[in-house]
């Protein structure tokens, strides 16, 4: 004897599934807005995927996000602020003139200065830094990529 589930049960399951799907879509849209706000750009390029973010500040704003992007979209990610590339640490020492890229050892996204290890670990090859004047008491936005410029990490610090 086959007994079919009541229509209300099927409707309830469909309703819950719809809510879960809407929640996931909303969460992903919120992550994309968060990263675009960190970079001061209206929207992220369509190639940006696999976003993972963490906040780790108490009295200051300290945020870190990692994601994948097409290498051709890196310039679009850098449009929101006046970014400049960093120098080698050995050129003036690691404590002089802001962030630097230490070439003597493998620096990766998981051991880069001061923040949590999030997303897949990747070796850092390029560092771009901006010190926005809009940050009244100081701060910086740092965008780091791997050699192929397809793995990206963004650090936001606002004092």
Digit-coded pLDDT (tens) for 45-100: 999 999 999 988 777 778 999 999 999 999 999 999 999 987 555 544 545 555 55
| Residue 156 in this model has a pLDDT that exceeds 90 | yes
Whether 112 is in a domain gets the answer yes
Whether 62 is in a domain gets the answer yes
Nearest-angstrom CA–CA distance, 40 and 156: 11
Range from 9-13, 29-33, 107-111, 148-152 that averages highest in pLDDT: 148-152
* Full residue range of the structural domain in which residue 56 is found: 7-158
Output the six-digit token pair for 126.
């390029």
Whether 140 is in a domain gets the answer yes
pTM value is: 0.73
Nearest-angstrom CA–CA distance, 74 and 46: 12
Whether 36 is in a domain gets the answer yes
Q: Cα 45 to the chain's mean position, in Å?
A: 13
Structural domain count, the chain: 1
Average of per-residue pLDDT across 149-153: 97
pLDDT of residue 1: 58
Nearest-angstrom CA–CA distance, 16 and 43: 30
pLDDT of residue 148: 97
Residue with tokens 């397809």: 150
Distant-in-sequence, close-in-space partners of 73: CB < 8 Å, separation ≥ 6:
45, 47, 48
Whether 2 is in a domain gets the answer no
């Amino acid at each position: 004897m086959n007994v079919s589930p009541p229509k209300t049960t099927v409707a309830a399951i469909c309703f819950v599934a719809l809510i879960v799907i809407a929640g996931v879509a909303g969460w992903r849209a919120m992550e994309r807005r968060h990263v675009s706000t960190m970079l001061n750009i209206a929207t992220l390029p369509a190639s940006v995927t696999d976003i993972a973010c963490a906040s780790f500040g108490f009295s200051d704003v300290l945020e870190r996000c990692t994601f994948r992007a097409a290498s051709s979209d890196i310039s679009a990610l850098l449009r929101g602020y006046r970014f400049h590339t960093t120098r080698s640490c050995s050129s003036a020492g690691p404590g002089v003139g802001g962030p630097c890229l230490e070439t003597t050892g493998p620096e990766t996204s998981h051991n880069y200065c001061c923040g949590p290890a999030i997303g897949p670990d990747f070796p850092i090859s390029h560092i771009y830094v901006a010190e926005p004047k809009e940050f009244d008491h100081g701060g910086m936005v740092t965008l780091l990529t791997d050699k192929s410029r397809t793995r990206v990490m963004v650090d936001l610090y606002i004092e």
